[in-house]
Amino acid sequence: MVPAVADLYLFFAYIWAVSEIRLLFLGDIVGKPGRELVRRGLPSLIEHYSVDLVIANAENAAAGRGITREIGDQLLNWGVDVMTSGNHIWSQREAVDYIGAEARLLRPANFPAGVPGNGSYLARTAQGRPVGVINVMGRVFMQELDNPFHRVLEEIELLRSRTRIIFVDFHAEATSEKIAMGWHLDGKATAIIGTHTHVQTADERIIVPEVLRRYKGQETVERRYSAIKGPLAVAPLFLKNNRRIAALITVICLALLIFCLVERQVRHAIAPDTHLDGLGSGHRRARPTGRLILTALASLRLIPAGHGRPATIPQPDRLQTRLLDLLDVDPTRPP
Ligand SMILES: [Fe+2]
């Protein structure tokens, strides 16, 4: 079985893309009433919405200003996975020691060098999926810190190789600065949340260029993955039970693996050239794809080994010989 058009990398990208992740952000938790709400409400919110990771701004959790070790530990026990903060992070003196011992408590990354704690954290969901959390603070009507727009990019760069999911808590006063950060991180962060003002504006938005990029990417994945969706769409008609469906998926995945390895090896072998003579329709030059390669090789026959003779591939044409050479297959001694 050879899928029509597929690619293993995109196959896994597709599975990854469609397996959603649910992040819950709480901000800001203010004093005892806020903590009580977390204690009473968070477990049921996590259960009801199947939340994978909880991030909370906790800089006001201790009597409205700062955080203590006891309170931070309580929030973590109640289901918070990562705590962000802001200008009140140092309002309780013990936070200086606590933040050094608790990596899940962040302070804005754009504090000057040498300040205790970190501005980012690589969290993991219960399923082990990595999520990068970054905390930065605005400067409009606030303290004079390092440039958050530069600093946040540095933090993203540090996390990027370890996760595709980047969450940013931008602790700032001015709406304009928060919106600017949203545009600044277009395509670079998964979600940006503004905290500090303690007023829910509920003005969440999806930035248009990002939507367009994702839409286009989705279309590519869908098109390339049509091979697996085709048979599955009709699977209930003839497979009838789950074991057969699972078996079909396994076979398709193995076929996808072979398919993309063939394509990958030929492309690597002809690099830096990207096209191959005679591969396209009408014997034109074409970029090797799994489909074109396997179509070109389709007429080959394999004579199995027997009577003391090795297996052979008789009379491959010029293009087939070239492809077998690129695939490192000796026609006189096929594997
Ligand atoms: Fe604040």
Rounded Cα gap, residues 7 and 19, in angstroms: 18
Question: Do the domain assignments include residue 313?
Answer: yes
Q: Give me the pLDDT at residue 1, please.
A: 32
Question: Do the domain assignments include residue 275?
Answer: no
| Ligand 1 centroid, distance to 83 Cα (angstroms) | 13
Q: How many CB atoms lie within 10 A of CB 156?
A: 17
Question: Do the domain assignments include residue 47?
Answer: yes
Q: Tokens in use for 294?
A: 């396997």
Domain final position from 197, 229, 250: 197
Q: Give me the pLDDT at residue 225, please.
A: 60
| Ligand 1 centroid, distance to 59 Cα (angstroms) | 7
Rounded Cα gap, residues 211 and 245, in angstroms: 34
Q: Tokens in use for 197?
A: 């003002």
Which 8-state DSSP code applies to residue 54?
Answer: E
| Ligand 1 centroid, distance to 116 Cα (angstroms) | 18
| Ligand 1 centroid, distance to 85 Cα (angstroms) | 7
187 and 310 housed in the same domain: no
Average pLDDT per run of 10 along the chain, which is 335 residues long? 39 52 92 96 94 96 95 97 97 95 98 96 94 97 95 96 95 94 92 90 78 65 59 60 74 82 91 88 87 89 82 85 89 67
Q: Tokens in use for 245?
A: 């469906």
Question: Do the domain assignments include residue 59?
Answer: yes
Q: Which of 48, 88, 268, 275 is the catalytic position?
A: 88
Domain final position from 197, 219, 239: 197
Rounded to two decimals, what is the model's pTM? Answer: 0.63
Answer yes or no: are the C-beta atoms of 106 and 67 closer than 8 Å. no
Rounded Cα gap, residues 151 and 130, in angstroms: 21
| Ligand 1 centroid, distance to 61 Cα (angstroms) | 11
Number of structural domains found in the chain = 2
User: Which of 303, 304, 299, 274 lies closest to 289, judged by CA?
Assistant: 274
| Ligand 1 centroid, distance to 306 Cα (angstroms) | 80
User: Which of 177, 161, 62, 156 lies closest to 109, judged by CA?
Assistant: 156
Q: Which domain holds residue 44?
A: 29-197
Sheet holding 191-195, edge to edge: 120-124, 130-137, 166-171, 191-195
Question: Do the domain assignments include residue 236?
Answer: no
| Ligand 1 centroid, distance to 87 Cα (angstroms) | 5
Scored b (16 or more CB within 10 A) or e, 22-50 reads ebbbbbbbbeeebbeebeeebeeebeeee
Is 198 an active-site residue? no
Answer yes or no: are the C-beta atoms of 327 and 266 closer than 8 Å. yes
